[in-house]
Amino acid sequence: MQLTPSIIADFKGGRLESFYAEAYADLLTYATRLLGEQHALMAEDIVQDTIFKSYQHRSGIVDGRQWKTYLFRLIHNAAVGIHRSHAAQQRYLSQQVELEDDFTRSLVEQETLERLFEAIDELPERYRRLFDLSFEQGLRNEEVAQLLSVSTRAVVKQKARLIDLVGQRLRRDGTPFALLALSLLVQEG
């Protein structure tokens, strides 16, 4: 790109034809290369903005080399700004997706636990007590047996029946996530 004294004089005089004929394609190629495929459509806007800014300060243009450097610097800075803006936007969107996922997961967990505890609340008193001791307090079967004055074998059988009753209720209500929660609870107990 040659910005000759005649192109400078035309540009300063408000005649842009010679500038566009000589410089536009090179400026557009540079902007496109800096922006990459992802933002290539913005190259033309950057070049037009650069030309406009340069036109506003045309009285300060002294020589072609200095002006060329100024034009390329404006394009470079604009491209960097677009990349930074895009990166910030992607980070923001990524955080929003994570927040939405966390919120959704939290809602599912809450609903699952509500269904599970509703099913447990409908159990007879002795099974609710067994649930409390075994699963909520985390006592071992032997400890539960001592507190309930029954054998360890009886605790094991009652826990199996408790799990079966809760599972029946959850299947009846069509609550697959709560069934999963119940299976996790059984694994922990």
Within a domain: 100: no
Tokens of 12: 């300063």
What is d(CA 90, CA 42) in angstroms, rounded to the nearest whole number? Answer: 18
Whether 163 and 86 map to the same domain: the answer is: no
Whether 82 and 129 map to the same domain: the answer is: no
pLDDT tens per residue across span 8-17:
888 888 899 9
Q: What is the dihedral of CA 140, 144, 147, 149, to 10 degrees?
A: -130
Whether 128 and 53 map to the same domain: the answer is: no
Within a domain: 102: no
Whether 84 and 149 map to the same domain: the answer is: no
Say yes or no to pLDDT of 187 above 60. no
What is d(CA 151, CA 18) in angstroms, rounded to the nearest whole number? Answer: 101
Average pLDDT along the chain: 84
Within a domain: 134: yes
pTM of the model: 0.49
Q: Look at residue 180 in the predicted model and tell me its pLDDT.
A: 62
pLDDT tens per residue across span 35-56:
887 777 788 899 999 999 999 9
Tokens of 131: 């649930």
Whether 85 and 138 map to the same domain: the answer is: no
Question: The CATH number of the domain where 74 resides is what?
Answer: 1.10.1740
What is d(CA 176, CA 52) in angstroms, rounded to the nearest whole number? Answer: 63
Give the angle 112-115-118 at the CA atoms, nearest 5°.
145
Within a domain: 35: yes
How many folded domains does the chain comprise? Answer: 2
Question: The CATH number of the domain where 158 resides is what?
Answer: 1.10.10
Domain that holds residue 72: 5-90
Within a domain: 117: no
